[in-house]
Amino acid sequence: MMDRLPLLDTHAHLDDEAFDMDREELIAQIGSSMLGFIDPGCDVASSEKAVALAHRYPFVFAAVGLHPEDIGRCRPEDLERIEELARDPRVVAIGEIGLDYYNDEASPHDVQKEFLAAQFHLARKLGLPVIIHDREAHEDLRELVRTEGQGVRGVLHCFSGSWEMAEEFLNRGWYFGFGGTSTFKNDHGVREILSRMPLDRILFETDSPYMAPVPFRGKRNCPLYVEKVAKMAASLKNIPELEMMQIATKNSKNLFFKLKID
C-alpha cells in the first residue's frame, strides 16, 4: 500500500451536492491518500450532513455553524440546533461563520454581525475554535473579534486581509488558512502574506468544491488537490515538501484539539 501524505484539508464541503454523484468513492480515495479533512457546515442542514459524514469515516471531522451568506434564511432557533450538534465528539470547531459584504443581498450586515457574535459566544462557552469566512468585511470582523470574540481562537480561512491585520490576529493566537487562491497567477498578495507568515500558524485547505488550485482552476475542487497548495508553500518557504505538510498538520492538531489523526 502506498504511504498516505501527512496532509490534512482543514476546509472541504464534501456535504455539498457537487459531490452527490461520487462522494463515497472520493472519500475512500482521500482516506487512502492523506490524513483526512474537516467538513464545515454552512446552515443547520449542511452541519447535520457534515456530522453524519464524520460519524461514518474515522478520518472525516465536522465543524458546525451558520455561514454569513445563509444568515438571511436562518432563524434564532437554528443556533440552538448548532449548539446541540457542536457537543458531538466528532465536531472540532464552530464554522463556517463570519461576515460577507460581497454576497450580501440576502443577509443584512447587522443581522450577520448578530449571528457572528452569538456564535463567538457559543465557541467560548464550549471551548471550541472557530473557522472564519471574511469577504470584504475586514474592519467589522476585527471590531467584532475585539468586542465579542475575547478568548476565542480560530482560523481565518482563505485569508485576504493585509499584513497589518494578520499581525493583530497572530498576536491573538489565531491561524491562517491557505488554499487555491495562493496558487493563482493573480493572487492579490496572498503569496506575500504566506511568505511572511510564521510556519507555526499556517494551515492548508481547499474550500472544495470551490476555489480549485492551479492547474485545476475552474474545475470542481477536492481535498486531494490540497497537495498542490502544500507544495507551493514549501517552495515559497524553501523547506522540503513533506516537512511543510507535517508542520501544517501539527498546527491543525494544535488549533483543532479534538482532531484524532495520525
Element of type H or E holding 16: none
CB nearer to Ni ion: give 6 or 179.
Answer: 179
Contact 168, 142 (CB under 8 A): yes
> Between residues 43 and 207, which has the closer beta carbon with respect to Ni ion?
207
Nearer to Ni ion, 18 or 199 (CB): 18
- Residue 14 is given by DSSP the state T
Question: Burial, 254: exposed, middle or buried (Cβ in 10 Å; 0-12, 13-18, 19+)?
Answer: middle
Nearest distance from C-beta of residue 50 to Ni ion, angstroms: 11
The least CB distance from residue 131 to Ni ion, in Å, is 8
Contacts of 83 (CB under 8 A, 6+ apart): 122, 126
* Closer to Ni ion by Cβ: residue 9 or 207: 207
Cα gap 137→117, rounded to integer Å: 14
* CA R_g for the chain: 17
Type of residue numbered 255: L
Least separation in angstroms between residue 6's CB and Ni ion is 23
**N- to C-terminal Cα distance for the chain?**
17
Asked if residue 181 lies in contact with residue 211, where contact means CB atoms within 8 angstroms, the answer is: yes
Closest contact distance (angstroms) between CB of 2 and Ni ion is 29
Q: How far is the CB of 238 from Ni ion (least distance, A)?
A: 29
Q: Which is nearer to Ni ion, 6 or 119 (CB)?
A: 119
Residue 96, preceding peptide bond in cis (omega within 30° of 0): yes
- Minimum gap (Å) between residue 37 Cβ and Ni ion: 12
Choice between 15 and 227, CB closer to Ni ion: 15
**Minimum Å distance from CB 11 to Ni ion?**
6
Q: Which residues bind Ni ion (CB under 5 A)?
A: 96, 207
Name the residue with the smallest CB distance to Ni ion: 207
**What separation in angstroms does the CA of 27 have from each of 15, 62, 208?**
11, 14, 13
For cell 499584513, name the residue. 163
Q: How far, in Å, CA of 25 to CA of 50, rounded?
A: 17
Measured from the CB atom, is 98 or 149 closer to Ni ion? Answer: 98
